[in-house]
Chain A
Amino acid sequence: MRRSEIRKQLRIRARNIIVQRDRRFFVNIEKKDLKRAIRRLMQMKNYTHLSTITALDVGSMIEVIYHVAFTDALVSVKVQTSKDEPIIPSIVDLIPGVALYEREIHDLFGVEFEGNPDLSPLLLPDGWPEGVYPLRKWWSVDRVLSKLGGKR
Chain B
Amino acid sequence: MTFEIPFGPQHPALEEPINFMFEIEEERVVNVKPRLGYVHRGIEKIAENRNYQQLVYLSERICGICSFAHASCYSQVVEELLDLKIPERAKFIRTIVAEMERIQNHYLWLGLTAKEMGFETLFMYAWRDRETIIEMLDMISGKRVNYGMSTIGGVRRDITEPMIKRMEESLNHLEARAEYYTKVCTKDPSILKRTVGIGILRPREARALCAVGPTARASGIPRDVRADEPYAAYGEIPFKVVTYRGCDVASRMYVRIDEIKESIKIIRYALKNMPEGPIRVKAPMRVPEGEAISRVEAPRGENLHFLKSNGTDKPERWKIRAPTLANLLSLCRMLMGVNLADIPVVIAGIDPCIACAERIALIDAKTKRLKVWEGKDLWRYANEWYRKRYGL
Residues of A at the B interface (CB closer than 8 Å) are 20-21, 23-24, 26, 48-52, 54, 56-57, 65, 67, 69, 71-72, 74, 76, 95-101, 104, 107-108, 121-125, 128, 134-135, 139, 141, 144-145, 148-152
Contacts and interface: CB of A to CB of B under 8 A. Distances in A.
Interface of B: 35-37, 40, 42, 44-45, 49, 80, 207-212, 223, 228-229, 291-293, 295, 302, 304, 306, 308, 316-317, 319, 321, 325-326, 328-330, 358, 360-366, 368-369, 372
Contacts of A104: 325, 360
A99 B362 contact: no
A121 B40 CA distance: 13
A95 B319 contact: no
A54 B368 contact: no
Nearest to A94: B208
B364 A125 contact: yes
A20 B291 contact: yes
B229 A96 contact: no
A111 to B, nearest CB: 14
A26 B291 contact: yes
A76 B212 contact: no
A97 B210 contact: yes
A32 B227 CA distance: 35
Given A96-B208, A107-B361, A71 B372 contact: no
B317 A150 contact: no
Contacts of B36: 122-123
A51 B302 contact: yes
**Interface residues of A: mostly helix, strand, loop or mixed?**
mixed
A96 B40 CA distance: 25
B319 A54 contact: yes
A49 B365 contact: no
Contacts of A134: 42, 45, 361-362
Contacts of A141: 45, 49, 362-363
A49 to B, nearest CB: 4
Contacts of A50: 210
A139 to B, nearest CB: 8
A49 B35 contact: no
29 contacts: A23-B229, A24-B292, A49-B212, A52-B304, A52-B319, A52-B321, A67-B304, A76-B293, A95-B208, A96-B329, A97-B208, A100-B325, A101-B325, A104-B360, A108-B360, A121-B37, A122-B36, A122-B37, A123-B361, A125-B364, A125-B365, A134-B42, A134-B45, A135-B44, A135-B45, A135-B361, A144-B363, A148-B369, A150-B368
A54 B306 contact: yes
A23 B229 CA distance: 8
A48 to B, nearest CB: 6
Given A72-B228, A121-B37, A123-B37, A67 B325 contact: no
Given A56-B317, A97-B210, A141-B45, A65 B306 contact: yes
Given A97-B326, A100-B328, A151-B372, A74 B293 contact: yes
A51 B365 contact: no
Contacts of B295: 51, 69, 74
A20 B289 CA distance: 13
Contacts of A148: 365, 368-369
A16 B317 CA distance: 22
Contacts of A57: 317
B209 A20 contact: no
B37 A51 contact: no
A52 B357 CA distance: 12
Given A67-B293, A134-B45, A145-B368, A123 B358 contact: yes
Given A56-B317, A122-B37, A134-B45, 12 more contacts: A21-B80, A51-B321, A52-B321, A54-B306, A74-B295, A97-B211, A100-B325, A108-B360, A108-B361, A123-B358, A135-B44, A141-B49
A20 B292 contact: yes
Contacts of B308: 56
B24 to A, nearest CB: 21
A45 B365 CA distance: 46
